[in-house]
């Protein structure tokens, strides 16, 4: 058997494996983007609540952040998935909507609420880093409180928080693998199933390469955003 034949056989074996992992990668990407869509704005609301002048409101959001950051994400996923049944005796199939299984919805809810807490603290740090003189100058110029925040403070905050947000976003890429705990067929789950069936480490190697490429693309995208915001120096 010549080298060319061996190479063709290896390629024939790798192709279906790669295609299956790519299907899992699509699910991982869905979890990633949906989490960002919900967690980024929610994190800002939580940050503003955490900085509220109301002691009660401030402590509520402080407790929320403490719980989300102080307990494992996997545990939170279990709570969101099994909670409706054990607490309210609601059958999980009754929570499915438009063909979307509740287990996938539970993953998005769990990830979004967890990452919103981390983003909230990043936002809070960025907002508090802005000199108070800027608020005073905006007041003298006739800006309202919300105009000051939206037009003056928020653009500067976004520029300052890009590096820590990038770190969290990169972590999110890897954390999507935790969806396996609810049997969501994302890339890590697919790799684990194929590896168990074939008694091979190759699926994990290919999955690791895909995760790495995904992270490179995310880091590159965040670098482009940071470069575009350089005029806020």
Angle, nearest 10°, between helix axes 154-175 and 202-228?
180
- Spatial distance between the Cα atoms of 149 and 126, rounded to a whole number of angstroms: 12
Query: What pLDDT is recorded for position 6?
Result: 41
pTM assigned to the model: 0.85
- Spatial distance between the Cα atoms of 187 and 194, rounded to a whole number of angstroms: 11
Domains of the chain, each with CATH number or no CATH: 3-232 (1.10.3720.10)
Determine phi and psi for 97, rounding to 5 degrees: -145, 130
209: tokens are: 């390469």
pLDDT tens for the chain, 233 residues long, are 444 444 444 445 566 777 888 888 999 999 999 999 999 999 999 999 999 889 999 999 999 999 999 999 999 999 999 988 888 887 776 676 666 788 899 999 999 999 999 999 999 998 888 888 887 888 888 888 888 888 888 888 888 888 899 999 999 999 999 998 898 888 888 888 888 877 778 888 888 999 999 999 998 998 888 888 775 55
- Spatial distance between the Cα atoms of 116 and 110, rounded to a whole number of angstroms: 10
Q: What is the dihedral of CA 78, 81, 82, 83, to 10 degrees?
A: 100
Region of 181 on the Ramachandran plot (φ > 0 left; ψ -120 to 50 alpha; else beta): alpha
- Spatial distance between the Cα atoms of 141 and 135, rounded to a whole number of angstroms: 10
Q: What is the dihedral of CA 143, 37, 166, 67, to 10 degrees?
A: 90
Query: What pLDDT is recorded for position 62?
Result: 95
190: closest CA among 22, 26, 24?
24
- Token pair 């790798």 is at which residue? 14
- Spatial distance between the Cα atoms of 184 and 206, rounded to a whole number of angstroms: 19
Q: What is the longest distance spanned by two Cα atoms in the chain? A: 84
Query: What pLDDT is recorded for position 193?
Result: 84
Please check whether residue 1 is in contact with residue 142, taking contact to mean a CB–CB distance below 8 angstroms: no
Percent helix, strand, coil in the chain, to 5, is 85, 0, 15
């Amino acid at each position: 058997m010549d080298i060319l034949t061996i190479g063709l056989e290896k390629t024939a074996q790798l192709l279906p494996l790669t295609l299956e992992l790519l299907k899992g990668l699509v699910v991982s990407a869905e979890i990633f983007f949906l989490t960002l869509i919900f967690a980024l704005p929610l994190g800002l609301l939580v940050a503003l609540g955490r900085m509220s002048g109301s002691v009660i409101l401030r402590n509520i959001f402080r407790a929320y952040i403490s719980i989300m950051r102080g307990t494992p994400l996997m545990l939170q996923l279990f709570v969101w998935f099994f909670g409706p049944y054990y607490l309210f005796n609601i059958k999980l199939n009754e929570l499915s909507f438009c063909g979307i299984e509740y287990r996938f919805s539970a993953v998005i809810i769990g990830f979004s609420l967890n990452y919103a807490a981390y983003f909230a603290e990043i936002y809070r740090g960025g907002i508090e880093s802005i000199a108070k003189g800027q608020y005073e100058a905006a007041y003298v110029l006739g800006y309202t409180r919300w105009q000051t925040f939206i037009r003056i403070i928020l653009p500067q905050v976004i520029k300052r928080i890009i590096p820590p947000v990038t770190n969290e976003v990169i972590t999110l890429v890897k954390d999507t693998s935790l969806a396996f705990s609810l049997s969501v067929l994302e890339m890590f789950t697919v790799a684990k199933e194929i590896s168990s069936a074939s008694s091979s480490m190759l699926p994990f190697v290919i999955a690791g390469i895909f995760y790495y490429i995904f992270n490179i693309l995310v880091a590159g995208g965040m670098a482009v955003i940071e470069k575009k915001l350089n005029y806020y120096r």
